[in-house]
Amino acid sequence: DADVTQTPRNRITKTGKRIMLECSQTKGHDRMYWYRQDPGLGLRLIYYSFDVKDINKGEISDGYSVSRQAQAKFSLSLESAIPNQTALYFCATSDPGSSGVEKLFFGSGTQLSVL
Protein backbone atom coordinates (compact mmCIF):
# COMPACT_ATOMS: atom_id res chain seq x y z
CA ASP A 1 0.00 0.00 0.00
CA ALA A 2 1.13 3.54 -0.77
CA ASP A 3 2.48 5.59 2.14
CA VAL A 4 0.71 8.74 0.89
CA THR A 5 -2.72 8.13 -0.63
CA GLN A 6 -4.75 10.68 -2.51
CA THR A 7 -8.40 10.35 -3.41
CA PRO A 8 -9.84 10.63 -5.94
CA ARG A 9 -7.21 10.02 -8.64
CA ASN A 10 -9.30 11.87 -11.21
CA ARG A 11 -12.21 14.27 -10.89
CA ILE A 12 -14.24 16.24 -13.38
CA THR A 13 -16.51 18.92 -12.03
CA LYS A 14 -18.37 22.03 -13.11
CA THR A 15 -17.70 25.66 -12.40
CA GLY A 16 -19.11 26.73 -9.04
CA LYS A 17 -19.16 23.29 -7.46
CA ARG A 18 -17.50 22.54 -4.13
CA ILE A 19 -14.77 19.96 -4.35
CA MET A 20 -12.72 18.20 -1.68
CA LEU A 21 -9.49 16.36 -2.36
CA GLU A 22 -8.34 14.02 0.36
CA CYS A 23 -4.93 12.88 1.47
CA SER A 24 -4.01 10.29 4.04
CA GLN A 25 -0.60 9.01 5.10
CA THR A 26 0.78 6.07 7.01
CA LYS A 27 4.29 7.46 7.45
CA GLY A 28 3.57 9.01 10.84
CA HIS A 29 4.82 12.41 9.69
CA ASP A 30 3.64 15.62 11.30
CA ARG A 31 4.17 17.81 8.26
CA MET A 32 1.83 17.71 5.28
CA TYR A 33 1.56 19.81 2.13
CA TRP A 34 -0.64 20.46 -0.87
CA TYR A 35 0.96 21.36 -4.19
CA ARG A 36 -0.48 22.20 -7.55
CA GLN A 37 1.21 21.37 -10.85
CA ASP A 38 0.40 23.04 -14.15
CA PRO A 39 2.11 22.14 -17.42
CA GLY A 40 5.42 23.96 -17.73
CA LEU A 41 5.15 25.63 -14.32
CA GLY A 42 6.64 23.12 -11.92
CA LEU A 43 4.99 22.61 -8.53
CA ARG A 44 3.53 25.45 -6.50
CA LEU A 45 2.73 25.24 -2.81
CA ILE A 46 -0.90 25.88 -1.86
CA TYR A 47 -1.02 25.16 1.89
CA TYR A 48 1.10 23.37 4.45
CA SER A 49 0.63 22.12 7.98
CA PHE A 50 3.34 21.32 10.52
CA ASP A 51 0.97 19.60 12.94
CA VAL A 52 -2.74 19.14 13.58
CA LYS A 53 -3.18 22.65 15.00
CA ASP A 54 -1.02 24.40 12.44
CA ILE A 55 -2.16 25.65 9.01
CA ASN A 56 -0.12 27.93 6.77
CA LYS A 57 -0.75 29.53 3.40
CA GLY A 58 1.62 28.79 0.58
CA GLU A 59 2.26 30.88 -2.49
CA ILE A 60 -1.11 30.31 -4.21
CA SER A 61 -3.73 29.80 -1.48
CA ASP A 62 -6.47 32.04 -2.91
CA GLY A 63 -9.56 30.01 -3.80
CA TYR A 64 -8.49 27.07 -1.63
CA SER A 65 -8.95 26.00 1.97
CA VAL A 66 -7.60 23.06 3.95
CA SER A 67 -8.48 20.97 6.96
CA ARG A 68 -6.08 18.91 9.05
CA GLN A 69 -8.46 16.41 10.62
CA ALA A 70 -5.76 14.28 12.19
CA GLN A 71 -2.04 13.74 11.94
CA ALA A 72 -2.66 11.35 9.07
CA LYS A 73 -5.26 13.34 7.13
CA PHE A 74 -5.05 16.62 5.25
CA SER A 75 -7.86 17.72 2.92
CA LEU A 76 -7.89 20.42 0.27
CA SER A 77 -11.16 22.14 -0.63
CA LEU A 78 -12.20 24.30 -3.52
CA GLU A 79 -15.28 26.13 -2.26
CA SER A 80 -16.39 27.26 -5.71
CA ALA A 81 -14.32 25.67 -8.43
CA ILE A 82 -13.28 27.69 -11.48
CA PRO A 83 -11.71 26.49 -14.74
CA ASN A 84 -8.24 27.89 -13.99
CA GLN A 85 -8.08 25.51 -11.03
CA THR A 86 -7.83 22.67 -13.51
CA ALA A 87 -4.50 21.09 -12.60
CA LEU A 88 -2.70 18.11 -11.10
CA TYR A 89 -2.73 18.26 -7.31
CA PHE A 90 -0.18 16.56 -5.09
CA CYS A 91 -0.17 15.90 -1.38
CA ALA A 92 3.16 15.39 0.36
CA THR A 93 4.48 14.65 3.82
CA SER A 94 7.82 15.17 5.53
CA ASP A 95 9.57 14.60 8.81
CA PRO A 96 12.24 17.09 9.92
CA GLY A 97 14.14 14.43 11.83
CA SER A 98 17.34 15.28 13.63
CA SER A 99 19.77 15.60 10.77
CA GLY A 100 18.52 18.89 9.32
CA VAL A 101 17.69 17.15 6.07
CA GLU A 102 14.01 16.81 5.32
CA LYS A 103 12.72 14.63 2.52
CA LEU A 104 9.31 15.03 0.96
CA PHE A 105 7.16 12.00 0.16
CA PHE A 106 4.48 12.56 -2.46
CA GLY A 107 1.22 10.90 -3.33
CA SER A 108 0.37 9.90 -6.87
CA GLY A 109 -1.67 13.00 -7.52
CA THR A 110 -5.26 13.98 -8.27
CA GLN A 111 -6.06 15.25 -11.75
CA LEU A 112 -8.84 17.82 -11.41
CA SER A 113 -10.71 19.23 -14.37
CA VAL A 114 -13.15 22.11 -13.91
CA LEU A 115 -15.47 22.64 -16.86
Q: Which residues between 29 and 58 bind other proteins (CB under 8 A)?
A: 31, 35, 40-45, 48, 50, 56, 58
Question: Does residue 90 belong to the site contacting other proteins (CB under 8 A)?
Answer: yes
- Part in contact with other proteins (CB under 8 A); list of ranges 14-22, 67-75, 79-87, 97-105: 97-105
Question: Does residue 70 belong to the site contacting other proteins (CB under 8 A)?
Answer: no
Tell me the three-class secondary structure of the chain, residue by residue.
CCCEEEECCEEEECCCCCEEEEEEECCCCCEEEEEEECCCCCEEEEEEECCCCCCEECCCCCCCEEEEEECCEEEEEECCCCHHHCEEEEEEEECCCCCCCCCEEECCCEEEEEC
Q: Report the number of secondary-structure helices (H) and strands (E) in the chain.
A: 0, 11
Question: Does residue 105 belong to the site contacting other proteins (CB under 8 A)?
Answer: yes
Give min distance, CB of 16 to other proteins, in A: 29
38: left (phi over 0), alpha (psi -120 to 50) or beta: beta
Give min distance, CB of 45 to other proteins, in A: 6
Give min distance, CB of 43 to other proteins, in A: 4
Question: Does residue 66 belong to the site contacting other proteins (CB under 8 A)?
Answer: no
Which positions lie near other proteins, rule CB under 8 A?
A: 4, 31, 35, 40-45, 48, 50, 56, 58-59, 90, 92, 96, 100-109
